[in-house]
Chain A
Amino acid sequence: MTGTATAPAATAVPLTGPSSGQRHRRRVRSYWRFYLALSPFYVLFAVFGLYPMLSTIVLAFQRWDGLGARRFTGLENFRFLIEDPTFWLALTNTVVLFLMSTVPTLVIALVLAVMLQSAVRFTSVYRIGYFIPNVTSLVAMAIFFGSVFSTNFGLVNAMLRSLGIPEQDWLGQPWGIKIAISTMIVWQWVGYNTLIYLAGLQAIPRDQYEAAKVDGAGTVRTFFSITLPQLRPVILFTVVISTIGGLQTFTEPQVMVGNSGGTGQSGMTVVLFFYRAAFLDNDYGYAAAIALSIFALVLLFTAINWRIFRGRGEDR
């Protein structure tokens, strides 16, 4: 933005020419209105985004109980983090939950999008219907899903019973907790991704499909040879967004199985672990170190995804 605003200005300023520093200053002064107009975002971002982020980095090297004096402790927080079995458990849980929720979400969303595109009637009704879960209160939904998966009086077990399958203690078993949490994430995010894919599908030129038809390609062949490659940038976008969201799973396990993460701490995600360190154990320095590890994790996964989904595109 700034670049495009200043570029034409540079040619318009008469080159009276003394030092470049003076010219620089004058340019800033004469275009102050532009900077002023741009500033609200940057000021707000600096105060509410950048400052807390930088404080977190500083805090990660300190001991702080939230109220007393801060004490600089160097790398102690990180050393403890590496030795803490709960941290590694939380990390594993987060990645497993991410895979258990993101992969089904995106696959289902893609199938739904293709189906929705060929649907003739009530398309808006379907689109709204699929999107509604995404704008529903997360806490309310977590309570609802907790009931659906509850052992004695839950909907899922009632269904199992009627099918003659023995009921399961969903929220009392490590794997059951993971299934319940990822089901909820899938339910919430399928609609959102469907809409994104649908927009992507509509941007694919029709004549490509017609050409494929002329060449004798069937529905499946068309999907894999035209639809998927054309959708690659859209898929990359959804994968990156899902990665950022999925690695920060917090509300679902916190409401469904509590701050402890449930049986075997199976619902203990890294963000829940962070929350526990900061707001229950009053160990803010340690929490900051955990927060930085989440940042590193998201960065790593985004880079991997980027490689997988973009790299192949560039090779061709």
Chain B
Amino acid sequence: MELSRRTLLAGGFAAVLGGTVVGCSSGMDAGSTTKKNAATELTLWCWPGGLGKSVLDDTVAYFPDPKIKYSEVGGDFKQKLITTFNGGTSIPDITGIKGEDIASMLPQAERFVDLRTVGADAILGDYVEWKVKQATTLDGKVIGLPIDIGPTALYYREDVFTKGGLPGDPAAVAEQLKTWDDLFAAGVELKKSNPKALIVWDATDLYDIVVGQGTERYVSKDNTFIGDQDHIRKAWDTVVKAMTLKIDGKTASGSPDWNAGLDQGTVPAHVGAAWVALDIKSAVKSSVGEWRLAPTPGGPANFGGSFLTITKNAADPAKAFEVIKYMLTPDNQAKAFADAQIFPATPSAYDKPQLKVADPFFGGQVPIEIFGPAAEAIPVAYEAPSDVAVAQPFKDELKTVQSGAKTSDAAWSAAVSKAKSIAKRQGVQ
């Protein structure tokens, strides 16, 4: 028999196919056995800027044995973590998990150490309750300790507001703009004298914040779809109202128009988390000192904020817990804020001198006076693992209302039916 190209290819193909099947079947039961890491060093993963530099350096120096080996993992962090978990080797002892990913990690709680088994109960009270809840499974395991949070506030241009006949002083703004309706009414008022200044930067961006102000989201604790109920419809209608009043600037945050509009006064206000201050500061030149902060109309919401977790592969979970406990004390959270604007998840840090600093960017206002009370008042809401996927159709369909392609009611029923089928796919009743 000739060794033809065909037989060679066929043989190679069969070999690889066989390998694939074996590889897959062995991959399937990898979860049941957990290999412990070597105790010679303690590996710690986080993304760039996730932890304050001085706190990190201090922690590394404070725990010399075993030495902490910190890896800064850039790019898609969750994806790299998942890939490493599947690979089964080089899994870090301690790893950061971003706030938007924590819900999808909860079903994998068996890959992480329940922090309550290593003594977390004594310190969990230091952190805001709703944030700890995000890292708590339905059966009560706590898999992560909060690094930071993202309480929202209303950012606005004092000069644009006063010129448009609105109050400029933060206290007066807080007094007048208590609800979304108040904000929209002020927006209509502002537009009369200044037609280019639209008070809502982008109504579809606002939607997530309005949903975040509620105590329920798209899927309930008993895993049923509740995205078609009143609480979501009310958030939807609020956003649509901003569109119909024509005070919607349609400039998504971070877009070139948004960046330019902050200075030009066409984006006179923004509702966003504490970290949005960094984006605004880096985008503006001429409006430094004209910005002010007021409480979010309709109550605070949260955007972002991460956790440190200990994997089951950790050589010494108790030791690893000592490390994260030390790194995330109220004192160190205040330090991280001074370092890199990482907003503390521990209310007692709000009284530290590092947070009491007045900010000339906000005309000498002390940001913590707005963000501190907001952080403690954020509602606890259950976020299902399927939340991100189920929420998507609502945001997609709102865009069609925004562009005028669909009526609100048509888009709503399309969103609900799409969300229902995605929810069903994700195993929601």
Contacts and interface: CB of A to CB of B under 8 A. Distances in A.
Nearest to A76: B425
Contact of A262 (B5, B20, B399): B399
Contacts of A84: 421
A59 B264 CA distance: 51
A78 to B, nearest CB: 13
A258 B16 CA distance: 37
Contacts of B27: 70
B388 interface: yes
Nearest to A146: B256
Interface residues of A, number: 53
B400 A150 contact: no
Given A24-B1, A67-B108, A151 B257 contact: yes
B104 interface: yes
A132 interface: no
A210 interface: no
Interface in B103-117: 104, 107-108, 111
Contacts of A67: 31, 82, 85-86, 108, 111
B403 A172 contact: yes
Given A152-B251, A172-B402, A263-B403, A55 B20 contact: yes
A27 B3 contact: yes
Contacts of B400: 263-264
B284 interface: no
Given A83-B421, A172-B403, A282-B104, A260 B24 contact: no
Contacts of B3: 6, 24, 27-28
B contact residues, range: 35 or more
Interface in A167-204: 169, 171-174
B389 A20 contact: no
A28 B8 CA distance: 11
The residue among B17, B266, B388, B425 with the most chain A CB atoms within 10 A of its own CB is B425
Interface in A70-120: 70, 80, 83-86
Contacts of B251: 151-152
Contacts of B17: 54
Could you tell me the dominant secondary structure of chain A's interface residues?
helix
A21 interface: yes
A55 B19 CA distance: 10
B250 interface: yes
A174 B20 contact: no
Interface in B414-429: 418, 421-422, 425-426
B272 interface: no
Nearest to A282: B104
Given A50-B16, A265-B396, A283-B389, A153 B257 contact: yes
A68 B107 contact: yes
Interface in A108-165: 146-147, 150-154
A55 B24 contact: yes
Given A67-B86, A69-B28, A21 B388 contact: no
Nearest to B260: A153
Given A152-B261, A169-B250, A68 B31 contact: yes
A36 interface: no
A68 B426 CA distance: 14
Contacts of A11: none
A205 interface: no
Nearest to A9: B3
Instruction: Give me the 7 closest cross-chain CB pairs, A-B, nearest first.
Output: A281-B389, A147-B256, A150-B256, A153-B260, A263-B403, A54-B20, A150-B257
Interface of A: 2-3, 6, 10, 20-21, 24, 27-28, 42, 46, 50-51, 54-55, 58, 65-70, 80, 83-86, 146-147, 150-154, 169, 171-174, 258, 260-265, 276, 279-283, 286
Interface of B: 1-5, 8, 12, 16-17, 19-21, 23-24, 27-29, 31, 76, 79, 82, 85-86, 104, 107-108, 111, 250-252, 255-257, 260-261, 264, 266, 385, 388-389, 392, 395-396, 399-400, 402-403, 405, 418, 421-422, 425-426
Given A55-B23, A281-B392, A281-B422, 19 more contacts: A2-B5, A20-B1, A24-B2, A51-B16, A54-B20, A65-B107, A66-B86, A68-B31, A83-B421, A85-B418, A150-B257, A153-B256, A153-B260, A154-B256, A172-B402, A258-B252, A260-B395, A262-B399, A283-B426
13 contacts: A46-B16, A50-B16, A51-B16, A151-B250, A151-B251, A151-B257, A152-B260, A153-B261, A263-B405, A279-B76, A279-B79, A280-B388, A283-B426
